[in-house]
Structure 1
Amino acid sequence: MTILNADTRRSRSNAAPASPDWKTRSVCRGKLADDFYSTIKSHKERARALCVGCPVIVECLNNQRQSDDAIYRWGVGGGLDPEQRRALELEELLGNVPNLAMARVLVSPRWLWRLRQLKAGCRSLEGIAAVLTQDGLLVDVVTVRVAVWWSGGEGSRMARLAPGDKRTWRAQLRDDYADVVVALHDLGARRADIAAYLGIPGTNGAKGVADVLKAAAARGLELAA
């Protein structure tokens, strides 16, 4: 196997302090800030498109996360929107720390086409990571997730259903992800955070998580009885 990322093997998201002048090298410097704080999808996409080619995207993401509030987050920062940064926080709560330098490799001109190809063909982040490993890259799932986000993809933890599987997302959440929902809840994660981690943010996502937790609690009471 050809290891293409020896220099970036464990560049953790909080590994080294950024150079004090990193902001002077940002692509967005001098651009209109409205897109970065807009709730309009097309505006956010314009902001993220700038981020992908920025030489200091890693420094920006680390800086943005340091300033994020525990509950409220605003704007696109470091190529991620607030829900994605919320999900990344829960990834790290589970011990899944992304290699951001490797994620940058995956969105470089050399590899971005391959990443987009795999996004279309694979049903899960685990599937994408497995194929990229076969391609010669040392990647883990959370690193792939960050790269998928940077490339404009949803990066959902919930796998796409197989052809012929007619379940709703609520049924899939209940059947396939109840264990991780309960585990994150036991670690102190809020329902909205768990929904963001799974890739189903918003009111509906939090309600779906609440239903899973309610069902799990009912099963626990039945077992105790």
Structure 2
Amino acid sequence: MTTETRLAIALAAARPYESRWDHDAACKGAGGDRFFEASGKAQEESRGHCRECPVLDNCLTAVVKRESFSRDRWGVVGGLTPAQRIALAWEQRLRGHGPDLDVARMLMKPAWQYRLHPLRCSGLTPDEMAESLRIDGLVTDGMTVRLAVWWLGGKGAWVTWRTQDRRVERLVAEHADVMTRLRELGAIHAEVAAYLGVEFKYVTRAVTLMEQSRVAAEDLEVAA
């Protein structure tokens, strides 16, 4: 598939209908190529452009609906990178519902950004950030907070590395259940990595370690 074809499909996913929200999109007439460059710097610049868009939530809703039928995702659309949209898709599948877009947009307002910023910098997971926000009277969930963090330019990962030591072992110890559940639902390693917010290599090694542990446990049962 050519780059031109991918660009056309991704743009169609973002704006599948000629609608009123489509005409208000900040990217309309801005030149679509910039949103489909693969470099991290280009993606950050595109996300910043989306951040100011008045129909950001409409765009994300449209692209998520269109991409639900395919594993192929390209470019920054709806304010998210391809990996973030993969993660969001699996978030919705695991939880059985999507994020609260109205709350996510509210968290982008200056007053809530001021509250959210120290939580992001403290290395908390989205669920932990959501719990802290409940103290301030905002009832929300980790998926919604994660989306807001993404829209604000953050990572919003479920895995936070506070040290460099034994990452694979810690990944297995802390996230084996969700990795197993994702794989049972058909997620490939790259999608598990996107969901957790970690590098692909760590998921591959973690899954190998989990399989080795499973086989060893089965051997012990047979020996007993």
- Structure 1: state its 5+ residue gaps: 1-17
How far off its partner does 1:219 sit?
A: 4.6
Question: Match of 1:168?
Answer: 166
Secondary structure of the residue aligned to 1:55 is coil
Structure 1 residues 152 and 126: alpha-carbon distance in aligned structure 2, compared to 1, 3 A threshold: same
How far off its partner does 1:110 sit?
A: 2.5
Letter in 1 for 2:143: V
- Structure 2: state its 5+ residue gaps: 1-16
Q: Is the 8 A contact 2:169 2:206 kept in 1?
A: no
Give the TM-score of the pair, scaled to structure 2.
0.82
How far off its partner does 1:100 sit?
A: 1.2
Question: Match of 1:218?
Answer: 215
In the alignment, the residues of structure 2 paired with residue 177 and residue 41 of structure 1 have an alpha-carbon distance, to the nearest angstrom, of: 27
Q: Is the 8 A contact 1:125 1:159 kept in 2?
A: no
Q: Which has the higher helix share?
A: 2
What do you get for the CA RMSD once the two structures are aligned?
Answer: 2.1
Q: Which moved more, 1:144-153 or 1:104-113?
A: 104-113
Map 1:137-148 to 2 at 5 A: 137-148=138-149
Question: Match of 1:14?
Answer: none
| Offset from partner CA, 1:92-130 (integer Å, 9 cap, x none) | 111152111111111122212222221012432222111
Question: Match of 2:115?
Answer: 114
Q: Is the 8 A contact 2:130 2:142 kept in 1?
A: yes
Count of aligned pairs between the two proteins: 204
Q: Is the 8 A contact 1:37 1:75 kept in 2?
A: yes
Question: Match of 1:153?
Answer: 154
How far off its partner does 1:221 sit?
A: 2.5
In the alignment, the residues of structure 1 paired with residue 20 and residue 187 of structure 2 have an alpha-carbon distance, to the nearest angstrom, of: 35
Secondary structure of the residue aligned to 1:177 is helix
Structure 1 residues 26 and 85: alpha-carbon distance in aligned structure 2, compared to 1, 3 A threshold: same
Q: 2:188 aligns with which of 187, 190, 215?
A: 190
Letter in 2 for 1:192: A
Letter in 1 for 2:28: R
| Offset from partner CA, 1:173-203 (integer Å, 9 cap, x none) | 111111111111112222211111111144x
In the alignment, the residues of structure 2 paired with residue 86 and residue 152 of structure 1 have an alpha-carbon distance, to the nearest angstrom, of: 17
Question: Match of 2:8?
Answer: none
Tell me which of the two structures has the higher relative contact order, counting C-alpha pairs closer than 8 angstroms and 6 or more residues apart: 1
In the alignment, the residues of structure 1 paired with residue 140 and residue 116 of structure 2 have an alpha-carbon distance, to the nearest angstrom, of: 12
**What is the identity percentage for the equivalent residue pairs of Structure 1 and Structure 2?**
33
| Offset from partner CA, 1:113-152 (integer Å, 9 cap, x none) | 2222210124322221111111111110000010111111
Q: Which runs of 4+ in 1 moved over 3 A?
A: none
Secondary structure of the residue aligned to 1:28 is coil
Question: Match of 2:47?
Answer: 48
Q: Is the 8 A contact 2:161 2:167 kept in 1?
A: no
